[in-house]
Amino acid sequence: MKSIGPQDIRLCEHLLTQFYGHACGEIGSILLNRGRLPFPSLLRMSCLTANSIREALIVLIHQNCVYHSDTSALTSKTAQSSHGPEYFEAIPIEILARIRFDQYINLTFEQFGLESKLIIESVLNNGKLRIGQLTSIVCDQYQQSPQAKLEIDQNQPKHYSLKITQIVKSNILNLLADRYLKPADPTHSINPIDLELALEKQMIADLPGVPSAKDFKLVKEQLAGKLNDAKDQEFQLMCSFEQKKRKLAGVQNDWNGQVKRQKTDEAILEDDMLLRVNYNRFNIKIRNSIFSQECLRWFNSDAAMVIKAMLSIAETKQRDCSDLVSEPISAQSIILKLGNRSKSIKSSFPITAANGQFNLKLKNTGDLVAELLSIIAKQDDLATSTSSAYLAGSLDKALSQLNPIPMVSEKQSNVLGGGGGSGGMREFKVEYGKYSVELRKGLVSKIIREKYGVEAARVVRILLNKGRLDEKHLAKFAMMSLKDSRELCLKLSAGKILELQEVPKTNDRQPSRTFYLFFIDFRKLILNLSMMIRKAQTNVIMRIEYELRKRKNLMAKSNRTDVIEDQDSYLTVWERAEIEKLKKIIEALEVAKFRLERDLFILNDLPWLS
């Protein structure tokens, strides 16, 4: 669920001004508040000149922040046909993605290293880049890094530049193969609705005679098929780089093989190919990290390691975070993914169980992985595994209410067999949709507890689980007095957390003969909390800029090369203390910004059950 509110628009305006200057910020603000506009309207509403507006639009379009569309040009068959006005429209989701750029860069550095980090950082800063331009930019940045200077001293400078170019192109291919980068198409800058309407108009124009209602319905079906085929082709194009990477992996490492590999790299990666960052791929990694952290919080490190490997296997076929359930994954494939780390899973199990049916010495690694996934799937409470390490019904019912929805589930064809078969052949699925609901409920309870207290969080949790309740039943379930329950419900209603529904007993709708039921509109509550968190996030970002701007002279002095080499000689005691104080303030604000963005990711980006 992604909706744009006033706080989102306020943050978008600030980000555009911060990243691209006041001209782009003014044009972006007009488009965000006014909606879709042609160029003459922008010229009339803005105080900028026509050239400045045109340059600002070019920058925003190149940075993927604005759609531009000329629908008449898309449907025209001849060059002499008249073109309609070109409209411009802001993309708030793309603008808000700039908050996660630092997170994207850190994820790339952790997984691939410095060269890939510089590649992603350059593409994010420029919006779109051709491979030739990207290679030259990254090579220049890498040669200025301390790591490159050490390598230049150890190697011959003449051949080092050629080696760096080859390394950068190899990293670009790796990022393309893993879908962190994707080819940029001109249609990405056009609103998908405009493309759909233009294609529909073209298909209707090609129909002979006067189209009937049946023809319009057929056009709609064909249009939906074409759009799905276009999405499939785009995803297949991204997956094709993985096949090309596998072909290159078969090249031998001798001298002739290196020359052949370099020529093959140049043939696959054309310098004119335009690239952009695939945000969906990074969002999948963020979602997986959240799931593995939750598993670590609820179980132990071995369970988190198994879930992390399972999520890593499942993400290879996923396009974005909209999947509700992953493909079935066998325990044997998880063992292959873990490698030698799978040997540590034995430490999570006792040598023998209380029921006498479990013996650790008779279990292989596949059985233990399947048993661990069965525990995460809460099958030990249902006694579906005949050789479980835990007694049937050992999971207390009251404890299961704290986290009632499991993160994984076993494939239905395997559940009937129980634990009698080979554990490595059992297949499990990740329940993205169901567990996302549970994550949202937990986050809502946490926010309500921090803002209104423990009793309010208890009331919200009860209403989320029970549905509509009157004040008497709510006070009984929450173990509160009727007076305290009534005051708390009125307070939560004023905060737009609870809703009140009137159920009259008679047709006259007298208040004395009416039931008043409290309930929670979960999607509306999520929307209100998202606006509140977005407002806090905007204030944190502005506070960071204020702290840096207040000490800009000191920061400019501390960033000088001579001061960095010898701070004791060039900086006074007061200046060093101020720098340390500023670092602590910025670190605390950055942590707060990261936590707020994580909460917004859980509320808005994780999938919703229909």
* pLDDT tens-digit series, residues 463-508: 988 888 888 898 999 898 999 998 999 999 998 899 888 888 888 7
Please name the residues in contact with 439: beta carbons below 8 A apart, sequence gap of 6 or more.
Answer: 290, 294, 602, 606
The backbone region for 529, taken as left when phi is positive above 0, alpha when psi lies in -120 to 50, beta otherwise, is alpha
Q: How does strand 274-277 pair with strand 181-183?
A: antiparallel
pLDDT category of residue 373 using cuts at 50, 70 and 90: confident
Query: For residue 125, what pLDDT is reported?
Result: 93
Closest C-alpha to 167, from 269, 250, 252, 241: 269
End-to-end Cα distance, the chain: 11
CA of residue 278 relative to chain centroid, distance? 11
Q: What is the mean pLDDT of residues 250-254?
A: 53
Q: Quick one: pLDDT at residue 251?
A: 58
Which helix (H) or strand (E) segment is 215 a member of?
A: helix 213-249
- Of residues 59 and 422, the one with the higher pLDDT is 59
How do residues 395-410 score in pLDDT, each as one tens digit?
A: 444 434 444 578 888 8
Asked, colleague to colleague, whether 6-95 and 452-520 share their fold, the answer is yes
> What's the token pair of residue 579?
């720098």
Give dist(CA 125, CA 139) in Å, integer: 16
Q: pLDDT tens digit string along 533-575?
A: 999 999 999 999 999 999 989 888 888 888 888 888 888 889 8
On whether the CB atoms of residues 28 and 12 are closer than 8 A, the answer is yes
Per-residue pLDDT of 512-523, as tens digits, reads 788 889 899 999
Classify residue 555 by burial, with Cβ atoms within 10 Å: 0-12, 13-18, 19+: middle
- Dist CA 601 CA 542 (whole Å): 20
User: Is pLDDT of 252 > 60?
Assistant: no
Of 305-319, 340-354, 393-407, 578-592, which range is least confident? 393-407
Q: Which 3 state secondary structure label does DSSP give 35?
A: coil
Percentage of residues of the chain with pLDDT beyond 70: 83
From start to end of 7-82, where are the E strands? Answer: 37-38, 66-69
Q: What are phi and psi of 208, to 5 degrees?
A: -80, 140
Place of tokens 């029970």: 466
If one counts every other C-beta atom within 10 angstroms of the C-beta of residue 388, the result is 21
Determine the Cα–Cα distance for residues 325 and 435; give it in Å rounded to an integer. Answer: 10
DSSP, residue by residue, 120-186: HHHHHHHSSEEHHHHHHHHHHHHHTSHHHHHHHHHS-HHHHHHHHHHHHHHHHHHHHHTTSEEE--G
Q: Would you say 582 and 558 are in contact if contact means Cβ atoms under 8 Å apart? A: no
What is d(CA 98, CA 65) in angstroms, rounded to the nearest whole number? 10
452-520 is a CATH 1.10.10.10 domain? yes
**Residue 221 has which token pair?**
């079906």
| Alpha-carbon 470 to chain mean position | 39
Tens digits of residue pLDDT in 409-425: 887 765 444 444 455 57
Quote the pLDDT of residue 255: 45
pLDDT tens string 9-41: 999 999 999 999 999 999 999 999 998 999 999
- Are 601 and 286 spatial neighbours (Cβ–Cβ below 8 Å)? yes
Domain extents in the chain: 6-95, 112-277, 281-430, 452-520, 526-605
Q: Are 18 and 545 in contact (CB under 8 A)?
A: yes
How many Cβ atoms are within 10 Å of 50's Cβ, its own excluded? Answer: 12
- pLDDT score recorded for residue 360: 67
The count of other CB atoms within 10 Å of the CB of residue 202 is: 15
Q: What is the pLDDT of residues 577-587, one digit of tens each?
A: 999 999 999 99
Per-residue model confidence (pLDDT) at position 503: 86
CA-to-CA distance for 602 and 5, rounded, in angstroms? 17
Q: What is the pTM of this model?
A: 0.85
45 neighbors 30 (Cβ within 8 angstroms): yes
Give pLDDT tens digits for 158-193. 556 678 888 888 899 999 999 999 999 888 888 888
Which residue from 476, 475, 478, 479 is spatially nearest to 461, judged by alpha carbons?
Answer: 478
Determine contact, residues 267/244, Cβ cutoff 8 Å: no
> For residue 385, what pLDDT is reported?
43
pLDDT of residue 387: 45
- Lowest model confidence (mean pLDDT) among 238-247, 353-362, 393-402: 393-402
pLDDT band at 152 (very low <50, low <70, confident <90, very high): low
Residue 539 is predicted with a pLDDT of 95
Structure tokens at 556: 């400019």
Residues 206-227 have pLDDT tens digits of 888 888 888 888 989 888 888 8
69 three-class SS: strand
* CB contact at 8 A, 254 and 155: no
How confident is the model at residue 544, as a pLDDT?
Answer: 94
**What average pLDDT is seen over the chain?**
83
The DSSP bridge partners found for residue 89 are 67
Distance CA 48, CA 46 (A): 5
What DSSP letter does each residue of 242-311 carry, written as one string? HHHHHHHHTS-SSHHHHHHHHHHHHHHS-TT-EEEE-HHHHHHHHHHHHHHHHHHHHS-HHHHHHHHHHH
Write the burial class of residue 69 (CB in 10 Å: 0-12 exposed, 13-18 middle, 19+ buried): buried
CATH class entry, domain 6-95 = mainly alpha
Cα distances from 43 to residues 17, 57, 58, in angstroms, run 19, 12, 15
Output Rg (C-alpha) for the chain, integer angstroms.
29
Residue type at 338 in one-letter notation: L
- What is the distance between the alpha carbons of residues 276 and 280, in angstroms, rounded to a whole number? 12
In angstroms, the Cα distances linking 155 to 150, 342, 430, 513 are 9, 40, 48, 89
Digit-coded pLDDT (tens) for 428-458: 999 999 999 989 999 999 999 999 999 999 9
What's 516's DSSP letter? E
Helix, strand, coil percent values for the chain (each to nearest 5): 70, 10, 25
**Predicted local confidence at residue 412, as pLDDT:** 72
Predicted confidence (pLDDT) per residue in 82-122, tens digit: 457 889 999 999 999 999 999 999 999 999 988 999 999 99
**For residues 204 and 211, is the Cβ–Cβ distance under 8 A?**
yes
Helix (H) or strand (E) holding 499: strand 499-504
Q: Are 29 and 150 in contact (CB under 8 A)?
A: no
